[in-house]
Amino acid sequence: MTPYEKLMARVQETQLLAGASSILAWDQEVKMPKGGLPYRGKQLALLAQLAHERSVATEYQDLLAECEQDPALTGDPASPQASNLRELRRSLDRLTKLPGSLVAEEAALASEGQAVWAEARKADDFSKFAPVLERVVSLLRRKAECFGWAEGGEIWDALADDYEPGCTAREVENIFTPLRERLSGLIREIAEAPRRPSDRFQRIKLPVDKQRSFVEELVGAIGFDFKRGRLDVSTHPFCSGNHPGDVRLTTRFHEDNLSDAIGSTMHEAGHGLYEQGLPFEHQGTPRGSAVSLGIHESQSRMWENQVGRSASFWRWCLPRLKEHFGGEVAALSFDDVYGGVNRVEPSLIRVEADEATYNLHIMIRFELERRMLSGDLAVRDLPAAWKAEYKDALGLDVPDDARGCLQDIHWSMTAMGYFPTYTLGNLYCAQFYEKADEDLGGLDAAFERGEFDGLLTWLREHVHEPGSSRPAAELCVHVTGKPLSADPLMRHLEGKLRPLYGI
Amino acid sequence: MTPYEKLMARVQETQLLAGASSILAWDQEVKMPKGGLPYRGKQLALLAQLAHERSVATEYQDLLAECEQDPALTGDPASPQASNLRELRRSLDRLTKLPGSLVAEEAALASEGQAVWAEARKADDFSKFAPVLERVVSLLRRKAECFGWAEGGEIWDALADDYEPGCTAREVENIFTPLRERLSGLIREIAEAPRRPSDRFQRIKLPVDKQRSFVEELVGAIGFDFKRGRLDVSTHPFCSGNHPGDVRLTTRFHEDNLSDAIGSTMHEAGHGLYEQGLPFEHQGTPRGSAVSLGIHESQSRMWENQVGRSASFWRWCLPRLKEHFGGEVAALSFDDVYGGVNRVEPSLIRVEADEATYNLHIMIRFELERRMLSGDLAVRDLPAAWKAEYKDALGLDVPDDARGCLQDIHWSMTAMGYFPTYTLGNLYCAQFYEKADEDLGGLDAAFERGEFDGLLTWLREHVHEPGSSRPAAELCVHVTGKPLSADPLMRHLEGKLRPLYGI
């Protein structure tokens, strides 16, 4: 074996442990009886420790350094070899720059933070959470100092790199600023619009088992391969990608919200299609892995929004819906369903937000975490700042912190630099979709016939198969010819919502 | 930490890997999509390798040796400390006596063997399997030589130790010989009996989902704790014990065989009750683990046979059965169900055999594997020897090898010394049950009222809680006051079957 082959074998072997952890974590959420919880925590901690030991072992570091010396491997930056070496170096640097004591401190704080946050949210008492959040900010500052950031950058960048490699606050700001302005304008127009879609679709009660069989068919119809995956139920929907041959989606059902079940399932199926489309021959190496959370989210939003909220999709889906459920569903009009899934309504809770206002929730969090990290916003002033932002961006009065700055788990888990990946996902998604639609000469006619393989094949070729061959921002330029911009998403939202609201 | 505490911490940590493997193996049988198979194999192989490395590490061996020098730990042979040290030493000796090359050879041969066996059985062609079986026998002889065996013992003993520690062919023979004679007599009596129970119960078709909800209730009624376990469906029923807080049963359903579903589920639930009853505070150490396959099987047979085929159980169960299923089931008489589950009929296939003839299938396999290992029987002569044994023991003509010596997977997986544990389980079971029945002043009245906690509490105290505190044979003497004998099982079978058959 060459040194590079040895390196890949080691990396793939270590990845087996991550894959095992991913199945155990899935099992914990989906199948495990309660009694298994304490033991499962120990199993996952041990597997994480073993994977970490292998990821920083001297033998591994030497092998990586040896390969980096070989110009035949690094010459072409888009080659599998070069992208593997680049990504492995990035991960190793991040692992070795952090002292073990800080890693342990963060793990303990994340665990404590989640427990304290859950109590504080339940009690609607920010003062309970504030001391922990202060420690989170202080720890993340020290963590960022270990990593460092590029000249002209800022502390936020060092943390975001874990979720969206190479992404900087400045870049995010440059896209978010025009996006916020145009989105706010659109949302104002909608608020004053002459008509509103009905919510009849959302008010119908349907048995959960019938909902389940319907979304299973739907997920199969858009191309999810059940021989290489599953769909189960969990409290919070997620997609667990252990291997392109074994991708596990979860979703949730409420009797009175089929629309949510469809949206959540299409969303997770989008993540799953990405995982199933990653190149099998590079499995277990960076080249064969998802490139960033933003790109991952672009694939979930693709099927949830660009497909699942399109008029052409609903022209195909509605007759199937009527046949499957009958009863009240049979009486729904096209406007009831298409309009219903596209209703826009400023609201307090991010995870319940519609496609348009969702991004404002994200921008608020991005600004607030950025200011907390830079020291510009004190933790104790977070609730007031949150309320001011919601008033300004969405015109809403936040009545309490439980429905305000205590609503999300992320910061309590020490995850700052994460939120923007959701909106980056929406932006990448819209930009990819425009290009696919152009390349394929319009997708609507195919969707109306229930044909989704054209889009999927395009995504396989341009987004899934490339894995981590290029950083996310470069992938976007490579695929669409342009850097990421707010324009495609705004064209998508305006083009759909203005006619719907009679604007 | 004392050296002993360090040793326990290490052992429990290594056990976390075995627990993870057990969940991954369960997942493979019960939930995993087909596409995950090749990757899962690699994950399990890596976890096994890591567990093995930890189990033979010098640091661990030194710690064990240090503890063994401490008379305070080894003084009382039934103390947790002494039984842990004894069992850890036994396992370590077995691990270190085998050269790594032989371990790898066995793993590869087991994998090849199963594949070749499956083909040979399908084609009903023993000549396809014979060369692999010859290699299995030759490898197992070399393996046994590595372990060695006690003076006066034989090669079979060295292999059986993996499944039933301390068990010897001579001991098995001493119990099996009278058992075979008395069983054969009973089966002859039954063949000539004046009446036979009806098979009406076995001929009724019932929807699988109704069967499922029925056996779930049943398993809960006998005491299986669903907060610390699950029940799922798989091709071959099994029980996977990862931890007393997370015990997973599987079963199977056929439309036309509720009786099989009840038997299989009660059987696996018996294994599960043992796992749930192992002492939590010793979890992950030998003291907190099952002592042998024979004792494990005694617990499954306890609920499948001693309880689940008793008249008192059916007096309680039949009204519930009628209420749950209605229809044809409502017309069944007590004799239909109690007689139906106790029908005795010599047959070709071990896994379909009844409670009485089952043990003859085992004895045949024990004698044949013992003779192959000693060199007394050549592999090429196995089919003829098999046929002769079935004619002699069960009066049956074996029409082909697929329903003859190719029916079981065990030998193809290099498992020789395993089969007798099934009958040892039946023997331990009957002996434990007699003692429990005596201690508790008769169990039938409780069963008739659907009260099974008396028996379960007795088993918890006398069999589950002790874990591996004593070797199986000693446990039997300790609990019942007598060494294992064929008498209790024969009293059980004769006492039940003679009246049923009007003998």
Any CB–CB contact under 8 A between B277 and chain A? no
What is the total count of domains within chain A? 1
Residue type, A99: P
For the segment B287-325, what is each residue's pLDDT rounded down to a tens digit? 999 999 999 999 999 999 999 999 999 999 999 999 999
The first and second tokens of residue A209, run together, are: 């088992």
| pLDDT of residue B97 exceeding 90 | yes
Residue A324: give its domain's CATH number. Answer: 1.10.1370.30
Residue B242 is predicted with a pLDDT of 76
> Is residue A153 one of the residues assigned to a domain?
no
CB contact under 8 A, A19 and B27: no
Residue B128 is predicted with a pLDDT of 97
Interhelix angle for B126-147 vs B358-374, to 10°? Answer: 70
Which of A169, A178, A168 lies closest to A491, judged by CA? A178
For the segment B360-416, what is each residue's pLDDT rounded down to a tens digit? 999 999 999 999 999 999 999 999 999 999 999 999 999 999 999 999 999 999 999
Any CB–CB contact under 8 A between B39 and chain A? yes
Which whole number is the average pLDDT over A99-120? 92
Which of A69, A237, A94 lies closest to A158, judged by CA? A94
For the segment B223-253, what is each residue's pLDDT rounded down to a tens digit? 999 999 999 999 899 999 879 999 999 999 9
State how far the Cα of B371 lies from the Cα of B257, in Å rounded to an integer: 37
3-state SS, one letter per residue, for B137-193: HHHHHHHHHHHCCCCCCCHHHHHHCCCCCCCCHHHHHHHHHHHHHHHHHHHHHHHCC
Beta strand A246-251 with A229-233 is parallel
What b/e string do you get for B352-379 counting C-beta neighbours within 10 Å, with b at 16 or more? ebbbbbbbbbbbbbbbbbbbbbeeebeb
CB contact under 8 A, A33 and B246: yes
The burial class, CB within 10 Å (0-12 / 13-18 / 19+), for B315 is middle
Interhelix angle for A420-439 vs A358-374, to 10°? Answer: 140
Report the 10 Å Cβ neighbour count for A466: 21
> Is residue B79 one of the residues assigned to a domain?
yes
Any CB–CB contact under 8 A between A377 and chain B? no
Structural domain that includes position B131: 3-154
For the segment B189-213, what is each residue's pLDDT rounded down to a tens digit? 999 999 999 999 989 999 999 999 9
- Report the C-alpha dihedral over residues B355, B359, B365, B367, rounded to 10 degrees: -170
Sheet containing A246-251: order of strands: A229-233, A246-251, A239-243
CB contact at 8 A, B262 and B308: yes
In angstroms, the separation between the Cα of residue B27 and the nearest Cα of chain A is 8
Are B467 and B332 found together in one domain? Answer: yes
3-state class percentages of chain A: helix first, strand second, coil last, to nearest 5: 70, 5, 30
State how far the Cα of A302 lies from the Cα of A425, in Å rounded to an integer: 9
CB contact at 8 A, B251 and B237: yes
Are B440 and B335 found together in one domain? Answer: yes
- Report the C-alpha dihedral over residues A100, A105, A106, A112, rounded to 10 degrees: 150
State how far the Cα of B359 lies from the Cα of A472, in Å rounded to an integer: 65
| pLDDT of residue A242 exceeding 80 | no
Are B208 and B144 found together in one domain? Answer: no
In angstroms, the separation between the Cα of residue A386 and the nearest Cα of chain B is 41
Which stretches of B381-437 are assigned E, i.e. beta strand?
none
Which whole number is the average pLDDT over A48-74? 96
The first and second tokens of residue B314, run together, are: 């059916």
CB contact at 8 A, B410 and B369: no
CB contact under 8 A, A35 and B242: no
> Is residue A459 one of the residues assigned to a domain?
yes
Compare all CA atoms of chain A with the CA of B32 and give the residue at the minimum distance: A246
State how far the Cα of B469 lies from the Cα of B461, in Å rounded to an integer: 13
For the segment B137-167, what is each residue's pLDDT rounded down to a tens digit? 999 999 999 999 999 999 999 999 999 999 9
CB contact under 8 A, A47 and B226: no
3-state SS, one letter per residue, for A64-88: HHHHHCCHHHHCCCCCHHHHHHHHH
First CA to last CA distance, chain B: 65
**DSSP secondary structure letter of residue A377:** S
φ and ψ of B161, to 5 deg: -55, -25
State how far the Cα of B316 lies from the Cα of A230, in Å rounded to an integer: 40
Residue B406 is predicted with a pLDDT of 97
Residue A38 is predicted with a pLDDT of 87
> Is residue B40 one of the residues assigned to a domain?
yes
The first and second tokens of residue A33, run together, are: 């009886």
Which of A429, A420, A436, A422 lies closest to A489, judged by CA? A429
Are B228 and B79 found together in one domain? Answer: no
For the segment B28-52, what is each residue's pLDDT rounded down to a tens digit? 999 999 999 989 989 999 999 999 9
In angstroms, the separation between the Cα of residue A425 and the nearest Cα of chain B is 28
Residue B139 is predicted with a pLDDT of 97
Are B304 and B221 found together in one domain? Answer: yes
Are B137 and B274 found together in one domain? Answer: no
- ipTM for the predicted complex: 0.92
For the segment B415-474, what is each residue's pLDDT rounded down to a tens digit? 999 999 999 999 999 999 999 999 999 999 999 999 999 999 999 999 999 999 999 999
Q: Which of A19, A27, A33 sits opposite B227 (nearest CB)?
A: A33
Left, alpha or beta for B375 (phi > 0: left; psi -120 to 50: alpha)? left
Distances, alpha carbon B350 to alpha carbons B268, B313, B359, B403, B407, in Å: 17, 25, 9, 10, 8
Residue % of chain A over a pLDDT of 70: 100
CB contact under 8 A, B42 and A16: yes
State how far the Cα of A90 lies from the Cα of A225, in Å rounded to an integer: 33
User: Quick one: pLDDT band at residue B333, thresholds 50, 70, 90?
Assistant: very high
Are B280 and B429 found together in one domain? Answer: yes
Distance of alpha carbon B190 from the chain centroid: 27
User: Quick one: pLDDT band at residue A78, thresholds 50, 70, 90?
Assistant: confident
> Is residue A139 one of the residues assigned to a domain?
no
**Which residues touch B308 (CB under 8 Å, ≥6 apart)?**
B262, B263, B266, B341
Beta strand B246-251 with B229-233 is parallel
Q: Which of B33, B43, B230 sits opposite A20 (nearest CB)?
A: B43
Half-sphere exposure of A320 (CA within 13 A, CB side): 17
Any CB–CB contact under 8 A between A17 and chain B? yes
> Choosing from B268, B297, B304, B355, which is the catalytic residue?
B268
Any CB–CB contact under 8 A between B86 and chain A? no
Q: For tokens 């996902």, what's the residue?
A: A425
CB contact at 8 A, B273 and B222: yes
**DSSP secondary structure letter of residue A486:** S
The first and second tokens of residue B410, run together, are: 């065990």
The first and second tokens of residue B455, run together, are: 């028996």
State how far the Cα of A6 lies from the Cα of B351, in Å rounded to an integer: 47
State how far the Cα of B249 lies from the Cα of A52, in Å rounded to an integer: 33
Any CB–CB contact under 8 A between B100 and chain A? no
Are B328 and B471 found together in one domain? Answer: yes
Residue B191 is predicted with a pLDDT of 94
**DSSP secondary structure letter of residue A166:** T
> Is residue A290 one of the residues assigned to a domain?
yes
Q: What are B239's strand-pairing partners?
A: B249
φ and ψ of A194, to 5 deg: -70, -25
Interface with A, mutate which of B31, B219, B278 (most A CBs under 10 A): B31
Distances, alpha carbon B418 to alpha carbons A357, B41, B369, B423, B494, in Å: 65, 24, 10, 10, 27
In angstroms, the separation between the Cα of residue B16 and the nearest Cα of chain A is 5
Residue B38 is predicted with a pLDDT of 87
| pLDDT of residue A59 exceeding 90 | yes
CA angle (A307 as vertex; A303, A312 as ends), nearest 5: 160
> Is residue B127 one of the residues assigned to a domain?
yes
> Is residue A440 one of the residues assigned to a domain?
yes
CB contact under 8 A, B19 and A43: yes
Sheet containing B239-243: order of strands: B229-233, B246-251, B239-243
Which of B471, B465, B501 lies closest to B483, judged by CA? B471
Are B146 and B218 found together in one domain? Answer: no
Which whole number is the average pLDDT over B326-337? 96
Among this protein's residues, is A66 annotated catalytic? no
Report the 10 Å Cβ neighbour count for B294: 26
CB contact at 8 A, B252 and B34: no
CB contact under 8 A, B31 and A35: no
CB contact under 8 A, A228 and B35: yes
Are B305 and B433 found together in one domain? Answer: yes
CB contact at 8 A, B63 and B84: no
Are B142 and B270 found together in one domain? Answer: no
CB contact at 8 A, A258 and A206: yes
For the segment A255-306, what is each residue's pLDDT rounded down to a tens digit? 999 999 999 999 999 999 999 999 999 999 999 999 999 999 999 999 999 9
Are B135 and B263 found together in one domain? Answer: no
For the segment B163-184, what is each residue's pLDDT rounded down to a tens digit? 999 999 999 999 999 999 999 9
Residue A141 is predicted with a pLDDT of 98
Any CB–CB contact under 8 A between B50 and chain A? yes
Contacts of A242 in chain B (CB under 8 A): 36, 39
CA angle (A387 as vertex; A381, A390 as ends), nearest 5: 135
Question: What is chain B's mean pLDDT, rounded?
Answer: 96
* H or E element in which residue A130 lies: helix A126-147
φ and ψ of A249, to 5 deg: -100, 150
CB contact under 8 A, B43 and A230: no
Question: What is chain A's mean pLDDT, rounded?
Answer: 96
Residue B425 is predicted with a pLDDT of 98
CA angle (B488 as vertex; B485, B489 as ends), nearest 5: 95
State how far the Cα of B407 lies from the Cα of B350, in Å rounded to an integer: 8
